[in-house]
A and B are shown apart, each in its own frame.
Chain A
C-alpha cells in the first residue's frame, strides 16, 4: 500500500532563504509525482509534475527532483518570498489503473519579511 510522507510538517524562514521540502513514498512503481500549493481554505494549484522517466523539473524559482529508486522527491524554492507562504503537498498516483492520487499531509511554509 502506497504511503506518502512529507518532512518537515512546518517551516518558518526569513525572506530570501533557499529552502528544501521533502517527500518520500513507499512504492517506487509510480507514473509521476506532482507538487501542489494550497493557500488557506483554497483548492490545490499544481506547481510541477515530474514523469517517472525524468529526474527533475523547473519552473521559475521552483525545482523539483525525483529519485524513484530511493522513493524520494524534493522541492527546492530559491530566494523565498512572503508570497510563497502556503502549504505544499506532494502526491503520487495509486496503482490500480484509475486516477487516484495519494497525498502527503503537507509542509506548512511561512516566509516572514
Chain B
C-alpha cells in the first residue's frame, strides 16, 4: 500500500510569490496534518484537517492556509512568501482525528525562497 505522498519534492520560489503544496494520505485515512521543519529543529504544527474541516491551527500567520478535498487529499497554500518560509514542509495522515491517533509522515516538500 502507498504511504503518504507529497508533491512536489523540491520547489524554489522568490519573495512575494505564492506556493501550493499537495498531500495524499494513506488510503482510508481521514485526517491530514501539516508541519513546517526548519533546519536543525523539530517539526512545528501548522494545521490539522479532519473530514474536510479545520480541527486545529498552530502559531502561523494568515498567509498560511489549507484545505482538504472529498478524497481526503490536502493542499497547503502560502502567500506573500518570505525568506523565513524556507523549510521542509511535512504532511502526516492518521486514520481518525483524535490526539491518540498515530501519525504517518510523507517525505516532505523542500521549499527554498530566494
* Interface, chain A (partner B; CB < 8 A): 4, 31-32, 34, 36, 41-46, 49, 89, 91, 93-106
Contacts and interface: CB of A to CB of B under 8 A. Distances in A.
B41 A100 contact: no
User: In the complex, which range does the number of interface residues on chain B fall in?
Assistant: 20 to 34
B88 interface: yes
A98 B56 contact: yes
A18 B44 CA distance: 30
Nearest to B99: A93
Contact of B98 (A36, A49, A97, A101): A97
Contacts of A34: 102-103
Nearest to A51: B100
A95 B50 CA distance: 17
B43 A96 contact: no
B40 A105 contact: yes
Nearest to B43: A103
Contact of A101 (B43, B55, B107): B43
Interface in B94-112: 94, 97-108, 110
A106 B42 contact: yes
A89 B48 CA distance: 20
B31 interface: yes
Given A32-B100, A105-B41, 5 more contacts: A34-B103, A41-B88, A93-B99, A98-B98, A105-B42
Contacts of A99: 31, 33, 48, 50, 55-56, 94, 97-99, 101, 103
B108 A42 contact: yes
B58 interface: yes
